[in-house]
Amino acid sequence: MKILIVGSGGREHAIAWKVAQSPKAEKIYCAPGNAGIEEYAECVPIKAMEFERLAAFAKEHQVDLTVVGMDDPLVGGIVDVFEAEGLRVFGPRKNAAILEGSKAFSKDLMKKYGIPTAAYESFTDADEALRYLETAKFPIVLKADGLALGKGVLICNTLEEAKDGVREIMLDKKFGIAGNCMVVEEFLTGREVSVLSFVDGKAIRTMTSAQDHKRAGDGDTGLNTGGMGTFSPSPFYTKEIDDFCQKAIYQPTVDAMAAEGRPFQGVIFFGLMLTADGPKVLEYNARFGDPEAQVVLPRMRTDIVEVFEACVDGTLDQISLEFEDNAAVCVVLASDGYPVQYEKGKAIDGLDAFKGRDGYYVFHAGTAKKDGRIVTNGGRVLGVTAKGEDLKSARTNAYQAVEWVSFENKYFRHDIGKAIDEA
């Protein structure tokens, strides 16, 4: 088969690496890709939002299956454009990607179908939101409705902070049109878990659990980022919790989307909070997590191309997913200054150290080739993943491997997987 992957981050590198293991994959393309993905795929200089050009490329090169990794093209309707051209594509249509694209939609869906989530109100009028806050309990959570690079969520401790937040989101449009509508939500406490799943419109198969580290600094300080590191599995995600979520959250979400006339095909990422009152949904994403994919996919035994095809063909009920009985930790190497301001174009050394080393991976997030060398080309530069027989050894291995790579302004968190010690 010829397979096209759309995206250019660490997640897409992990997907390309996993697809390359499949005996079914004869040729892999990635648009636009990055310097690491080139090892497995022919990178094509078409941007992820250029749907018509991508579809034309897929037709011209007789691509059998396209896999969309990123949220923006999915929410923008890339799948609809491909399907209209008769192309096979893994990912939700626009009317289903709204599960990630609109927080107000996803909250209303959960309310309508009794799926556990934080209590909330949504607003399209800033004055109404401001009035509502006068009687609210603090802390409280404000969320811009639309996509905001993972930064559209504000946790406010006081009324003043919350009022400023409403003004930033709805009046100053800090996150652009994402702030035309806003969700105000009850603040939840507990352990966060990411559960990714494959969905074919009717059936759902969950992958092994993971935990992300969203803040930029050690000890969960600093700004929210796309994710600074992950570990898998989460020791807090027990069999009992999984049983509950399968019955009360996962299948009901898939059924709800089907009942709404928005059958979901692709990956649903459940962002959960394990609260004292049981698991609740913090958010849905319509794609693999980044850097969750970098710890989940290296542990996956099942041929991912078979799973992608089963999702597209509606035969996922015939698939059982298998994962290795071990653990993985991913530490993101970023450019100092991320997520605000950082330099690019710094030469990266030491990448060869990963070659031929079983259980160690370096996934490229923001890299490019310049004069024959691999250089930094983004805030998140690399994801260093290592496996181990348990979480602690995976963490030791990952932090060892972090030292193999060097570039100017290399920055990483030193406490990825600290929660493991509390399990």
Percent of residues in the chain assigned helix, strand, coil, to nearest 5 = 35, 30, 35
Determine the interface stretch with ligand GLY among 31-39, 289-297, 315-323, 395-403 (rule: CB under 6 A). Answer: 289-297
Residue 227 binds ligand GLY, judged by CB under 6 A = yes
CB 284, min distance to ligand AMP, A: 9
Binding residue for ligand AMP, selected from 271, 278, 359, 388, defined by CB under 6 A: 271
Pick what 192 binds: ligand GLY, ligand AMP, none; C-beta below 5 to 8 Å, kind-dependent: ligand AMP
The residue among 294, 134, 274 whose CA lies nearest residue 226 is 294
Residue 341 CB coordination number (10 Å) = 9
Rounded to an integer, what distance in angstroms lies between the CA atom of residue 302 and that of residue 307? 8
State which residue, 166 or 331, has the beta carbon closest to ligand GLY: 331
Rounded to an integer, what distance in angstroms lies between the CA atom of residue 37 and that of residue 60? 22
Q: What is the DSSP letter of 181?
A: S
Whole-number CA gyration radius for the chain: 21
CB 317, min distance to ligand GLY, A: 27
Burial letters 184-212, b for 16+ CB under 10 A, else e: bbeebebbbbbbbbbbbbbbbbbbbbbbb
Residue 150 binds ligand AMP, judged by CB under 6 A = yes
- Which tokens is 381 given? 């530069």
Pick what 283 binds: ligand GLY, ligand AMP, none; C-beta below 5 to 8 Å, kind-dependent: ligand AMP
State which residue, 72 or 186, has the beta carbon closest to ligand AMP: 186
Tokens 């250089």 -> residue: 375
CB 86, min distance to ligand GLY, A: 31
CB 214, min distance to ligand AMP, A: 5
**Across the strands, what pairs with 153?**
143
Pick what 309 binds: ligand GLY, ligand AMP, none; C-beta below 5 to 8 Å, kind-dependent: none
* Angle formed by the axes of helices 103-113 and 251-259, nearest 10°: 100
Residue 100 binds ligand GLY, judged by CB under 6 A = no
Binding residue for ligand AMP, selected from 85, 128, 161, 192, defined by CB under 6 A: 192
Residue 235 binds ligand AMP, judged by CB under 6 A = no
Residue 3 binds ligand AMP, judged by CB under 6 A = no
Residue 212 binds ligand GLY, judged by CB under 6 A = yes
